[in-house]
Amino acid sequence: MNRKKFIQTTGLGLGIVLIPRIASSKQQFKNTVLFSNLNPKIIKDNEGEVLDVIGDIQTHKLIGSETDNQIVEWVDNVEPGVGIPPHIHTKEDEIFRVVKGQVEIMVDGTTTVLKAGDTAFAPKNLPHAWKVVGSEKAKMITSAIPAGIEKMFQELADLPSGPPDFEKVADICSNHGVTFVK
């Protein structure tokens, strides 16, 4: 059998076999919920809720109530020398993406300097820390999966201004599954 004859013959055979299945799947498709209850969101660079979380200036772009608690994402705009000491999350993984500046990051004992375009992943239950190094302000996009940690950040931002009471900070963090380590 030549190629053209084969295609014509098998095409007809496939059509006879597949048409009832396609019709059946269209009916199933009609009975399927196609849309989630999530709303799309466009967030411009200068938009979002800004929190001063003990010197870490965070602009929250997506929060759990908008993502079915799947993810929270914020932008850190941080001065040189500012950072977060070694700590462990028990509930969420974090992803750090540097957009501008330099951020020294430690994950599970390995320290490196991230520059614009670099990314680090800090899985839950592993110690990690970060600090802005160099002479320029850093901009970093941070994601936490699943969401929820934004509630801790709000509590920390609500603390009185001035030098933080480390015991109070540690209590708030502990209530959200985050502990500081040495």
pLDDT digits (tens, 9 = 90+) for 108-121: 999 999 999 999 99
For residue 111, give Cα distances in angstroms to 107, 108, 114, 169: 7, 8, 10, 25
Residues 73, 43: Cα–Cα separation, whole Å: 11
Q: What is the dotted CATH code of the domain comprising 49-180? A: 2.60.120.10
pLDDT at residue 90 above 70? yes
Identify the top-confidence range among 20-24, 53-57, 139-143. Answer: 139-143
Q: Which of 24-33, 101-110, 166-175 has the lowest mean pLDDT?
A: 24-33
Residues 103, 96: Cα–Cα separation, whole Å: 10
The pLDDT confidence band at residue 162, using thresholds 50, 70 and 90, is confident
The pLDDT confidence band at residue 182, using thresholds 50, 70 and 90, is confident
Residues 56, 49: Cα–Cα separation, whole Å: 13
Task: Check residue 32 and give its pLDDT.
Answer: 55
Residues 106, 84: Cα–Cα separation, whole Å: 10
> Angle between the 166-175 and 149-157 helix axes, to the nearest 10 degrees?
160
> Which is higher by pLDDT, 5 or 119?
119
Tokens standing for residue 157: 């931002």
Task: Give the pLDDT mean for 67-75.
Answer: 97
Residues 138, 76: Cα–Cα separation, whole Å: 8
Tokens standing for residue 3: 């190629």
Task: Check residue 2 and give its pLDDT.
Answer: 73
Tokens standing for residue 78: 């941080």
